[in-house]
Amino acid sequence: MSQSSPSVSSVESLLASVSAITNAQTSFELFVPAQLTLKGESVGQDVAMAIVLDKILAHDLIPAGFEEQPGGRLYKYQKE
């Protein structure tokens, strides 16, 4: 599953994508734009990813790398 590639996104929209993960999924991809907001305020990608990663780990998925893409990164996750 992969989110489209907007140039700006909210942490809330990333969390909505994460909430769509099913127990049957063995992998997940998430595009994270370089510019992010949280509750309408600009937030650093490091802060945003800490919040998002916490929710992804709850689905028993672990980081499996990322690819630089125009405007952000495509993060990949997989089951252990």
Percentage of the chain beyond pLDDT 90 is 86
Per-domain residue ranges of the chain: 8-79
Give whole-number Cα distances, 75 to 3, 39, 40, 53, 78, in Å: 10, 22, 23, 10, 10
For 56-79, the pLDDT digits (tens) are 999 999 999 999 999 999 999 999
Higher pLDDT among residues 6 and 69, named by residue: 69
Residue range 21-34: average pLDDT? 95
Q: Flag the least confident range among 1-5, 19-23, 41-45, 50-54.
A: 1-5
Distance CA 24, CA 5 (A): 25
